[in-house]
Structure 1
Amino acid sequence: MTTTCPRPEYPRPQLVRTHWLNLNGEWEFEIDHGRSGRARNLAASEPFSQKIVVPFCPESKLSGIEHKDFMAAVWYRRTFTAPADWQGKRLLLHFGAVDYDTEVWVNGQSVGTHRGGYSSFAFEITNFVEAGENVITVCAEDDNRSGLQPRGKQSSLYHSHGCDYTRTTGIWQTVWLECVNETYISSLKFYPDPENACVHVEAKLDGQISGDTQLHVQATYDKQSVGSAVAQACTTDVRVTVPLSEVHLWEVGAPRLYDLQLQVVQANQVVDTVDSYVGLRSVSLKDKAILINGKSVFQRLVLDQGFYPDGIYTAPTDADLRRDIELSMELGFNGARLHEKMFEERFLYWADQLGYLVWGEQANWGLDITTATGLERFLPEWIEGVERDFNHPAIVGWCPFNETWDGPKNARQNDEVLRIVYQVTKALDSTRPVIDTSGNFHVVTDIFDIHDYEQDPAVFAAKFEPMKQGGEAYNTFPQRQRYEGQPYFVSEYGGIWWNPNQKDEKSWGYGNRPTSEEEFLQRYEGLTTALLDNPNICAFCYTQLYDVEQEVNGLYTYDRQPKFDAKIIRAINTKAAAIEQENLVASGSTDK
């Protein structure tokens, strides 16, 4: 059992404060198969029987538990002592993510509940904390076979199988304490406006708002001041526009970022200071293309499942999050679909820092959306995720659902569930396109996307040939969805089954397995070129970046070792870019 603090980095990089305490590390742990912990008063009982390393889930090796069977409920407990200089401050207890239904106690008193396995949440615990040592107890209930919760790629069978993998139960992101003054910034939204050389800021304050409460914003670029603004706070919602003396666009592979410092001032005293950053970039749609800062950018994406051999849902280190992006970029991809999972904020931070495009997605698989109950279970957590991740310039679109197949006994998806989630997402964020459900079955969508795992390049190309000639678009489910002229995105293809070192009976991939590396590369090139050469396709997403357990269609192995010469894959992915660049270098209107 480790004695060091795993994942020690600050977990919320777009709203940073100085005073915080990381609670990762060793906790007491108990499995509660019968969900009887409350009846047995586990929140106030004797020490639990096991130890676990947080933030790693109990299924993982890094947790020290490695219990792979279903767990109806799990309990955690640890002590903390608030630093002496936190006296008189408000204390907030944060959880990056806990799967799935969570209740938290401090010193035996319940401080709050949360439903959702992927979104972040916090409770104010000021009135529950005592001088000296305090006890935090957490219970998480999890039933991914209920149809009432999104499970994503977590297996609903005992074994991992096909494209479903080892489960995650309980805490799987950083737990941390933060101290604030009576009045503080609780959330921020940035609206970058490159055309007008400014950024619009919306801040929500918590606490007492007096007549002299002000929000001060200072913007710097490369450590030089480039703008500032002050707004009077009349309510807890404050809006201000920060003009910028220099315009530096955030672009693919060129992540120019402005640093921001925001302060709440009352009676000429600074009562809260947070550091943040913003990317000056816009996303728009025009002529069947997705534009970044007004320029058409072909999105060469790869599917990223967000799984790790030793940590399952949780990267062992912050460097592992960054490295996954770098591995993708080495192969010539400029972004990823973050698949069936809300990724943690630190991954999005590195995408921002590296100029890497991503699509935000929720883990909808396992949730029955054939009735309105699916909306009730899905929408609150999705809103939390969109609000949390709104400011990341790397996110260029939202995709709440993936492959919404019909439910039990062939009950069809409730189209109104998808329509309402789409409408709410657009209301929350008018600055990005929204795909209602990736692959199928579309109800209302800004981008029309399809999934196709045809393995014969000639057959694959023939499906899109009419589009290439300006004819009818290929529609995988014409009886269930309609193409209406939107930008067209092949958001899953390939999935070529290849890992010569893993040939057991559980190994899984799409279609027939190539007989040689040469055959793999020929197939990869044929499939990819068919999409790159089509002027009426704006993006692709190859399945997938790395193997996950038995699914061996990655371009890297599960432990991120290369299967192929990166230069070969990169040349295939970017060969159309060289042609485009030669033809369009003067206008700079397209980046394939």
Structure 2
Amino acid sequence: MPQSPSIPRPEHPRPQFVRDSWINLNGEWQFEIDPSRSGKERGLQTPDASLGRKILVPFCPESRLSGIGHTDFMAAVWYKRSFSLPAGWEQGEVLLHFGAVDYETEVWVNEISVGRHRGGYSSFSFPISHALREGDNVVTVYAEDDVRSGLQPRGKQSGSYHSQGCDYTRTTGIWQTVWLELVPRTRIASFRLIPDPDNDCLHVSAVVEGQTAGLSLRVAASYEGRAAGERTVRIGSRSVSLSVPLSEKHLWHPGAPALYDLRLELVRDGETVDAAGSYFGLRSLRLDGMAFRINGRSVFQRLVLDQGFYPDGIYTAPTDEALKRDIELSLAAGFNGARLHEKMFEPRFLYWADRLGYLVWGEHANWGLDITTAAGLARFLPEWIEGVERDFNHPSLVGWCPFNETWDSSRGTRQDDEVLRIVYEATRALDPTRPVIDTSGNFHVATDIFDVHDYDQNPEKFRARYQPLAEGGEPWVSFPERQSYSGQPYFVSEYGGIWWDPERSSEKGWGYGERPKSAEEFMERYEGLTNALLDNPNMFGFCYTQLYDIEQEVNGLYTYDRRPKFDLAWLKAVNGRRAAIEDEA
């Protein structure tokens, strides 16, 4: 149903699984910081309890857009608002959805606790029909957050009072869209799409909630409005699988993102019981020696590090257009994809990546989580599974990387290798269609791709380090006492990070290596480092750090407010030069 344009972030938050009946709950909510976590004892969960401030959801209270702008640590926060349902919504089940809430959440509707969730990045929902009443209903949200506990993945949220180095302003509480959805009691609970261009078809598996007797699943694909394939099968249990043959073949490829529309329906006795809209891209992924092949073609991955921060929204883009624009800025600079770094990005970003033909790697925000014992696995894996399942159907997503730089703890204790091994194996089991990197940079335990991080600022030394790989020999391994190479495809997944602030506005800024003395020196260094990777016939990609500045970190190619620091035509020419390992288009 249409959403008010005055609501912040009014677009549908889950574009690959869309039903018509939904209500966006973004906008003004009551809000209160609970420094002593005493709110439950004080009865803040009761409908009549008022909170002391106002906040604009979905922006976190640390952000300017929220109207709060409180950047100190917040042990817990409370939210409250009322809503009323349209006529007819009492006939089905109402789900209350949260895009993301950081970190441990409990939700009440009319003083009835409807559910709890742990995890600051994955999406979740609760059925709430049993708690609803006629007229106004009150939803109350409580979230606890402690990035210094070692018990939660915080990503690049600073564990110190000030932002410093490559850690930035924190995010607490709600930071993605909150919404209601009317669903039938018998409904499609979830579905997976596996494109199969070699056999001109789409494989679909779905899970059904409710009464399945006499039920069928009908799946219809179309391309630019033309019918492109349909299949109907009877449902014998909660899960059902089918293959839809496609009458037209249009491949999804980076830079040429052909997309099919998809409609899924549950049908009983000729009547539609439930229906949802989606889309898919027809593409395959395959590792072949040192090459990464997309639809059989070796594609050199010109990636850039994107950390998903915004000056006014922190973790939350101010608009849907801002998400799209970040991808367009990257493409304008000659990149064809990004590592989505230390953060599970929202589905709307992946939607625009699908639409614009932009490659992305999915990653979790593991920094801050102690993984020196199996206790870290209990905190990490459930949320990671939720993220993998949520984002599985996006054609732009070409690989998973659950961990990044798993450094030893401040006590000097090493990572528990079994934590990484189990997460790697679980990810492979959840998604056998994509490669998995266990931990980007270090310390590898079990991985489909061996990647390294290298911030050497000397182009000659940088090139020489990878010359043995170019000649078919053993590649350079960082921390060889902790990890070893065993023949996997290889790439440098972080390099550069050249510290350049053209306005010299932050003498206390942060970047890697010695700051260049001029833009010309930056350009010479950038070109030398990048060419060393493009020229290497056994390097399938690179990832430059980073797309834009973030707060004190000034090694972006754009400023924090997304102004280019360099001539984009030059940058695009350097990044877009034909790579040694790349096939002809």
Decide: shared fold, TM above 0.5.
Answer: yes
Aligned residue for 2:402?
A: 400
2:73 paired with 1:70? yes
Q: How does 1:261-272 map to 2 (within 5 A)?
A: 261-272=263-274
Match of 1:47 among 21, 29, 50: 50
Deviations 1:207-234 (A, max 9, x none): 1111x10100110011100100001111
Match of 1:306 among 297, 305, 308: 308
Within 5 Å, which residues of 2 pair with 1:108-507?
A: 108-210=111-213, 212-507=214-509
Deviations 1:545-573 (A, max 9, x none): 00000000000000000101100001111
Identity %: 66
CA RMSD of aligned residues (A): 1.2
1:137-187 CA distance string (max 9 Å, x none): 000000000000000000000000000000000000000000011111111
Letter of the aligned partner of 2:141 in structure 1? Answer: V
Provide the C-alpha distance between the structure 2 equivalents of 1:41 and 1:502, rounded to a whole number of angstroms: 51
State the alpha-carbon separation in 1 of the partners of residues 357 and 230 from structure 2: 25
Cα distance change of structure 1 residues 491 and 590 upon mapping to structure 2, 3 Å threshold:
farther
Q: 1:190, 1:263 → 2: CA distance? A: 15
Q: Which amino acid aligns with 1:454?
A: D
SS at match of 1:462: helix
Cα distance in structure 2, aligned partners of 1:505 and 1:554 = 16
What is the aligned partner in structure 2 of residue 537 from structure 1?
Answer: 539
Partner Cα separation in structure 2 for residue 512 and residue 129 of structure 1: 61
User: 1:36 is matched with which residue: 35, 38, 42?
Assistant: 38
Residues 273-301 of structure 1: CA deviation (Å, up to 9, x unaligned): 10000111011101111110111111000
**Is residue 161–residue 506 contact of structure 1 (8 Å, CA) maintained in 2?**
no
The residue identity in structure 2 corresponding to 1:113 is R
Structure 2 counterpart of 1:74, which letter? V
Could you tell which deviates more after superposition, 457-466 or 112-121?
A: 457-466
Alpha-carbon distance between aligned partners in 2 of 1:580 and 1:123, rounded to the nearest angstrom: 48
Question: Quick one: which amino acid aligns to residue 473 of structure 1?
Answer: P
Further displaced range: 2-11 or 350-359: 2-11
**Counterparts of 2:25 and 2:52, CA distance in 1:** 20
In structure 1, which of residues 547, 555, 558 is the aligned counterpart of residue 549 of structure 2? 547
Q: Which moved more, 1:140-149 or 1:496-505?
A: 496-505
How far apart in 1 are the matches of 2:458 and 2:183? 59
Query: With structure 2 as the length reference, what TM-score do the two structures score?
Result: 0.98
Structure 1 residue runs without a partner (length 5+): 582-588
Residue type at the aligned position of 1:156: G
Residue 576 of structure 1 aligns to a residue in which SS?
Answer: coil
Q: Tell me if the contact between 2:435 and 2:448 (Cα under 8 Å) persists in the aligned partners.
A: yes
Instruction: Answer yes or no: is the 8 Å Cα contact 1:3–1:25 preserved in 2.
Output: no
Matched, 1:61 2:59: no
Name the CA distance, whole Å, in 2 between partners of 1:141 and 1:505. 36
Per the alignment, residue 585 of structure 1 pairs with none
How far off is 1:267 after superposition?
A: 2.5
Can you give the 5+ residue segments of structure 2 that lack an aligned partner in the other structure?
Answer: none
Contact 2:323/2:348, CA 8 A, preserved across alignment = yes
**Amino acid of the structure 1 residue aligned with 2:520:** E
Q: Does the Cα contact within 8 Å between 1:546 and 1:557 map onto a contact in 2? A: yes
**C-alpha distance after superposition, 1:51-107 (max 9, x if no partner):** 000000000000000000000000000000011121211100000000000000000
Aligned-pair CA distance for 1:408: 3.0
Q: Distance in 2 between matches of 1:41 and 1:86?
A: 29
Match of 2:536, SS state, is: coil
What is the Cα deviation at residue 269 of structure 1?
A: 1.2
Match of 1:531, as an amino acid? L
Paired with 2:468 and 2:148, the residues of 1 have a C-alpha distance of 42
What's the CA shift for 1:580? Answer: 7.8
Change (3 A) 1:462 1:580: closer
Deviation at 1:504, TM superposition (A): 2.9
Which consecutive segments of 4 or more residues in structure 1 shift more than 4 A? none
Query: Deviations for 1:399-423, whole angstroms, at most 9, x for unmatched residues?
Result: 0000000113110100000000000
The size of the alignment, in residue pairs, is: 581
Which of 548, 566, 569 is residue 568 of structure 2 equivalent to? 566
Q: Note the C-alpha offset of 1:465.
A: 1.2
Counterpart CA distance in 2 for 1:320 and 1:184 is 33
- Contact kept? 1:298, 1:590, Cα under 8 Å: no
SS at match of 2:377: helix
> Which residue in 2 is equivalent to 1:586?
none
Aligned amino acid, residue 475 of structure 2: A
1:105 equivalent to 2:108? Answer yes
Tell me the SS of whatever aligns to 1:540.
strand
| 1:114-134 CA-partner distances (Å, limit 9, x unpaired) | 000000000000110101100
